[in-house]
Amino acid sequence: MQIVANGLRIEVDDQGPVGGDPLLLIMGLGMQLSAWPQALVDQLVALGFRVIRMDNRDAGLSQGFDDAGVPNLAWAGLKYGLRLPLQPVYTIADMAADALGVLDALGIARAHVCGASMGGMVAQHLAARQPARCKSLTLMMTTTGARHLPQPSLRVRAALLSRPAAAHPEAVVAHLEGLLSVIGSPAYRPDPAQLRQRLHTQVARAWRPQGTARQLLAVAADGDRSALVAGIRVPSCVIHGDADPLIPVAAGRDLATRIPGALQDIVPGMGHDLPDALLSRFAQTVLRNAARAKG
């Protein structure tokens, strides 16, 4: 369903009992709400949560910003390297306001929040700036953005910034398969046929690379959130794979040390994805962290 949140049309999926403990899931760069596996949602609902997934602005079926044009990422990367200011179309803080607007539109005063990758950056802003609205915080495969942290290799960066050979669905799916083969979990490789079917479903729903470029610029412009996360006072947990090639595990460890009282779950063999074999572990970790919340 579509709702108006923070003045934008945001696509939302709301599952579980209305009286369940609200849990907002925020996905990463260019990803759709359907990138949160339905099997994970089912497990979370069975644990008593009302699970709310959302398409971020400029992704999935939510409102886009195509009128703003496509940023020159090469030029932005040069400016980032020279520590010159970037001018994104919107900010990560704006995206956090969208998430808060989703809760407002659904009449939810307080919710547990779980963000993955860029979604974890959005969640950091939400928890730090609106602690009264956040019961607990789970951050998956994400970072403070501090420059001293290890960065992805040139091979990984090239895979992230590459484009499909053509615009038709088969080429897009092949491109995504290649990307996931680079950043995915080495110990939890998916079944190729199942992965391909899942990607075909995702691409049929939406494929918006221009929005991904604008989101990527927002990530770069957000800079170092170390001081921001140091002010988080809600029960927090960091989940990170020790084989993550996109956001190396040092970033997850650093994030956990900077949030007061944060728990951490470093997962052996996990990369930058959500393997089916780990979904139960993720659900139980969210539950344990949520149990630390008051009220």
**Which residue, among 209, 1, 10, has the nearest Cα to 94 in the 3D structure?**
10
Q: Which residues neighbour 277 within 8 Å (Cβ) at sequence distance 6 or greater? A: 188
Q: What ranges do the domains of the chain cover?
A: 2-151+208-290
Mean pLDDT (whole number) for 269-277: 98
Mean pLDDT (whole number) for 149-160: 93
Contact indicator for 185, 269 with CB cutoff of 8 Å: yes
What pLDDT sits at residue 264? 97
Residue 166, pLDDT > 90, answer: no
Three-state SS for the chain is CEEEECCEEEEEEEECCCCCEEEEEECCCCCCHHHCCHHHHHHHHHCCEEEEEECCCCCCCCCCCHHHCCCCHHHHHHHHHCCCCCCCCCCHHHHHHHHHHHHHHCCCCCEEEEEECHHHHHHHHHHHHCHHHEEEEEEECCCCCCCCCCCCCHHHHHHHHCCCCCCCHHHHHHHHHHHHHHHCCCCCCCCHHHHHHHHHHHHHHCCCHHHHHHHHHHHHHHCCCHHHHCCCCCCEEEEEECCCCCCCHHHHHHHHHHCCCCEEEEECCCCCCCCHHHHHHHHHHHHHHHCCCCC
Q: Which residues neighbour 92 within 8 Å (Cβ) at sequence distance 6 or greater? A: 118, 121, 122, 125, 218, 219, 221, 222
Model pLDDT for residues 23-53, shown as the tens digit of each residue:
999 999 999 999 999 999 999 999 999 999 9
CA angle in degrees (0–180, nearest 5) for 94-225-292: 90
Contact indicator for 103, 133 with CB cutoff of 8 Å: yes
Contact indicator for 249, 239 with CB cutoff of 8 Å: no
- Give the pLDDT band (50/70/90) at residue 295: low
Mean pLDDT (whole number) for 182-196: 96
Model pLDDT for residues 64-116, shown as the tens digit of each residue:
999 999 999 989 988 988 889 999 999 999 999 999 999 999 999 999 999 99
The yes/no answer on whether domain 2-151+208-290 falls in CATH 3.40.50.1820 is: yes
CA atoms within 13 A on the CB side of 171: 7
Longest CA–CA span in the chain (Å) reads 51
The mean pLDDT value of the chain amounts to 96
